[in-house]
Amino acid sequence: MLLSPSTADALRTALTTAGYTTDGVRDLLGPGAHAALGRGEVEPAFRAAAGGGELGVLVRLLLLGAVEGDAAVTAALGTPSALEAAGLLARDGDGWRAVLDLRPYGVDAGDEPGSDWWVLSDLDLRRQDRDHVTGVGAASLTLAAATVRRPVGSLLDLGTGCGVQALHATRHARAVTGTDLAPRALALARATFALNDLDVELVEGPWMEPVAGRRFDQIVSNPPFVPGPARVDYVYRDSGQDGDAALAALIADLPGYLEPGGVAQLLGSWLHVRGEDWPDRVRSWLPDGVDAWIIQREVADPDLHVGTWQRDAGLDLASPTARAQAGAWLDWMDAARVEAIGFGMITLRRPDEGRTDGPGTVVFEDLPGAVDDPLGPEVEGWLDRVDWLRAHAGDDALLDARLTVAPSVVLERWADHRAEPGAEGWAEAGAAVARTDGPRWRHEVDEPAAALLAGCSGALPLRDLVELLAFAHDRPADELVAATLPAVRELVRHGLLLPSS
């Protein structure tokens, strides 16, 4: 698709005038039909869009795949022939149908400008095409929600696809570059940026080749991360390399394209190989000195993994073609001794120049299930807390620090349900401190630890609190220090304890 400046301006004006925005579509459809559309149920949306004026025409034409009459399309979008020439519409009898998916996409940014865009991608009916360009899907939303949004000078969106991550990046990066090896993806991204009146540099080529010799303050990437045989059935998901070899090479390369202190964030999928520890495999890919936080969100067995991605491609799983593909994929898994496939989020930070305070911090964690809050602020906080812990690596430095319990932290206590009630009630079995925001990190604590945390209000250094606790429990202070400091570091890293300002 090629949008000339005049066509992009006219289309933008028409969409805005009709109210074809995230809020406009949601208000027209209502909560029930809008939720049904998200589940792929279109009839409630057709009913809600009937009588919706020009906005209803656009919803039926661009979102629901309907053929709309010439007069209605002209009233809503202007001269259809210009959009036909651009590749958005095509004649269908006496009316018009959409050739591409054009939908509003927004983020909750309050009064911040640029929180509502339009995204162009391929229709789902093209999903089995090798060069299919996906729109705003679950993976795109996951990465966008986990990305750090601090202001930066330059940002690279590696494997930009239709440009979703680059759209977000324009809100906090002065210069944005997007790369992709697929010409069709770059064409749709270019049209998306033209429609939104945004200046994004786009360059074609595989992996890091288009930006060789350059460095960026931040890199984001939703790469083709689906492990499988070394072939490319679909460009958006298959790397063409065996298993997770492409991810291993990318993780090794990315820090070299970052400015000192720069951060890279990407989605990834790694193999759980029989007889190997998956964190050890991924750790072996990391360059020396980097900070790395690898969060595993899901683990799938080989059967589920193959079926999920075949359904994602829109295949009839009972067809001979799909069965043959699945069989070859599962045979490859067996030969590679794959027990499971992990999926998650990888954050890498290149060390600042001249840093001499030891190796980087590398942490692997499982975070299954839904996370209600965006992970971006959590990643940002994690990087800050890692810096603070590095500066307080010595026991004396940590003991001299003043800490406070984060406002969202609560103390949970529970009883032993097997105990008989006595004169003093149920027998207490344990306690834990937990965050009620972000990833809801939770740590079990004993009574001395709970008492120590209760004293963390920023008024006294940790050393004084430990000494008071040792006196109260008649335990040697050195013994409490040895038992306490590792737990304190974990509580700081998870944001339950915060340095007092």
pLDDT over threshold 60, residue 216: yes
Numbered ranges of CATH 3.90.930.50 in the chain: 392-499
pLDDT over threshold 50, residue 413: yes
pLDDT for position 109: 45
Contact at 8 Å (CB) between 385 and 492?
A: yes
pLDDT tens digits, residue range 101-157? 999 998 754 434 446 899 999 998 766 788 889 999 889 999 999 999 999 999 999
Alpha-carbon span 24 to 465, nearest angstrom: 56
Q: Beta strand 291-300 with 338-349: parallel, antiparallel or unpaired?
A: antiparallel
434-463 per-residue burial string, b: 16 or more CB within 10 A, e: under 16: bbeebbebebebeebbeebbebbeeebbbb
pLDDT over threshold 90, residue 184: yes
User: Mean per-residue pLDDT for 437-464?
Assistant: 91
pLDDT for position 227: 93
Kindly list the distances between the CA atom of residue 249 and the CA atoms of 85, 269, 367, in Å, as whole numbers in the listed order.
Answer: 41, 13, 24
Which of the residue ranges 189-198, 268-277, 468-477 would you say has the lowest mean pLDDT? 468-477
pLDDT over threshold 90, residue 292: yes
Q: Which CATH number fits domain 392-499: 3.30.499.10, 3.90.930.50, 3.40.140.10, 2.60.40.10?
A: 3.90.930.50
User: Mean per-residue pLDDT for 187-216?
Assistant: 96
pLDDT over threshold 90, residue 385: yes
Q: Architecture of 131-367 per CATH? A: 3-Layer(aba) Sandwich (3.40)
Q: Where are the beta strands (DSSP E) in 212-288?
A: 216-221, 258-273
pLDDT for position 110: 41
pTM over 0.85: yes
The residues facing 166 across adjacent strands are none
Numbered ranges of CATH 3.40.50.150 in the chain: 131-367
Query: How many Cβ atoms from other residues are within 10 Å of residue 36's Cβ?
Result: 18
Contact at 8 Å (CB) between 247 and 269?
A: yes
Q: Where are the beta strands (DSSP E) in 350-417?
A: 362-366, 402-405, 409-415
Kindly list the distances between the CA atom of residue 74 and the CA atoms of 54, 69, 81, 89, 479, in Å, as whole numbers in the listed order.
Answer: 10, 9, 9, 12, 79
- What's the mean pLDDT when you consider all of the chain? 91
Amino acid at residue number 224:
P
